[in-house]
Structure 1
């Protein structure tokens, strides 16, 4: 098949999805500790998320120090952002994992908490030029500031991912979207954009670190229905007493999707079933309010990886 045609196909395809049924409340499943071998599988994605803090020139040439050296076979294809008005981002292909990686830069803990407490905290419908109304009715709402930030990079990232899929289509790669902090929020919106536009045979995965709440109940239910159904298709990792993931508050109408893995004070990683699991072994129970949180936990470490560029 002509690759130019396939690129056009990706750039214009919109897959209509039927209405999502109302969720049924179910009894919480038992919290389970993740094996050390499974924890180690996240290490490449932790380095990918950390590398997003580096300038586009460094990620485009894959010369970003320890984080780039940790994934030496990665083949970057696009990067952008200015680190001020638009967070850094990059796209590329990892042959070892056979996945196209999309990564967004985060921000420092004090900045993300400020963003979660300003006028942009209002919930707003998704941008219909990026998220078609046929799939995303106005009942699905997200943080206004996150939506505005995401809109600035959505189109170039979409095309970069489509081109990477076409370039490696013989290997049928998945797409893995990663990020930390604000970057985790932007990456989640990317993942939702991809799963609603790309055909079913393109598997979309998400690994987010220190993810703040992004949207309302309808948004969380959409993520659960379309991203968390596959094996480890959606994982949001929370660290110890990090207060960022408990913001914005649920009293404002915000809800986390399922898929939490919480790092305990003992450094054990526990799976927390359901949305906003209230157990003390999960972030909502471990950090009932900002006053008992520790911003020092926001950057990690996540199995030895502390978020930030060290190039």
Structure 2
């Protein structure tokens, strides 16, 4: 018996000595074609900064010109109390696009670092059947709720008008946080058989462990971080916030690294590369993301 106990203790010690699972998983570099695949969506996220009038007319300069065949369906927001958003159809990608406006680093940092936010349950009217154990940043939740029903109506209209069952949600910064919440919200209200993907840039942490686990189980997510951007490491994990999986980190070398798991601690990933907010560089937040800077 003593030898069995000793063996168990030795195994336990060996396991405890291993680095966290996330850091043991393989970090792989994206190919040029994989990186280029994101570019149309990056322009859609950047166009989220344009006014609702510009995006409804699809007349917003470089970002609109990058996807010239886009068919806008609806837009909204005022760029102040309500972030701009737009919905339309891309015939080349055969998907409905949903995009939300972000904000600049100096405006979003107080929202995600000040003490006037808290984790709260999702609105049961908007998110029926979602566990009360799933909690999100109250400011992000309120921002998503302010446009949720209008966005849903626009998506339904776009799907019907263009005969597609595909929906792609994009956003940068605060827009990425709203987009991630849309990624939980919209599937609850759209027909079975609809396919979804979510591509976020400079995504702050949005919710707790239960939220991250739900996203991993139900959302096809990629969230892309640029170099030493401090926004994705906020709010801090010590406050109970956790990133879902799906991180791609653009390193200083220009390599795009796919980082498996939640909040991967490797120095090739954002948590390891920017361990503290003061180690970050605000100017990295807007890009470039494969040559695209965020903003209209």
TM-score (ref. length: structure 2): 0.91
Quick one: which of 47, 71, 76 aligns to 1:75? 71
**CA–CA distance in structure 1, aligned partners of residues 135 and 255 of structure 2:** 34
Q: 1:272 to 1:138 in 2, by over 3 A?
A: same
Quick one: which of 196, 200, 213 aligns to 1:221? 213
Deviation of 1:267 (Å):
0.8
**CA–CA distance in structure 2, aligned partners of residues 153 and 298 of structure 1:** 24
Question: Which structure 2 residues correspond to residues 49-68 of structure 1 after superposition, within 5 A?
Answer: 49-68=45-64
Contact 2:30/2:255 (CA < 8 Å) preserved in 1? Answer: yes
Deviation of 1:128 (Å):
0.9
Question: Which structure 2 residues correspond to residues 284-303 of structure 1 after superposition, within 5 A?
Answer: 284-303=271-290
Name the counterpart of 2:203: 211
Quick one: which of 88, 93, 111 aligns to 1:92? 88
**CA–CA distance in structure 1, aligned partners of residues 205 and 189 of structure 2:** 23
Runs of 4+ displaced beyond 4 Å: none
Name the counterpart of 2:189: 197
Deviation of 1:203 (Å):
0.6
Q: Are residue 234 (structure 1) and residue 228 (structure 2) matched?
A: no
**CA–CA distance in structure 1, aligned partners of residues 60 and 116 of structure 2:** 32
Q: Are residue 178 (structure 1) and residue 165 (structure 2) matched?
A: no
Contact 1:241/1:297 (CA < 8 Å) preserved in 2? Answer: yes
Q: CA RMSD in A?
A: 1.1
What is the number of residues matched between the two proteins?
Answer: 276
Which blocks of at least 5 consecutive residues in structure 2 are unaligned? 1-19
Q: Which moved more, 1:112-121 or 1:288-297?
A: 112-121
SS for the counterpart of 2:290 is coil
TM-score (ref. length: structure 1): 0.87
Deviation of 1:189 (Å):
0.6
**CA–CA distance in structure 1, aligned partners of residues 63 and 266 of structure 2:** 33
Name the counterpart of 1:151: 145
Question: Which structure 2 residues correspond to residues 240-255 of structure 1 after superposition, within 5 A?
Answer: 240-255=227-242
Q: Which structure has the greater CA radius of gyration?
A: 2
Quick one: which of 93, 108, 111 aligns to 2:107? 111
Per-residue CA shift, 1:211-255, capped at 9, x if unaligned?
Answer: 00000000000000011xxxxx21000010000000000000000
SS for the counterpart of 1:121 is coil
**CA–CA distance in structure 1, aligned partners of residues 274 and 114 of structure 2:** 21
Instruction: From the two aligned structures, give the one with the greater helix fraction.
Output: 2
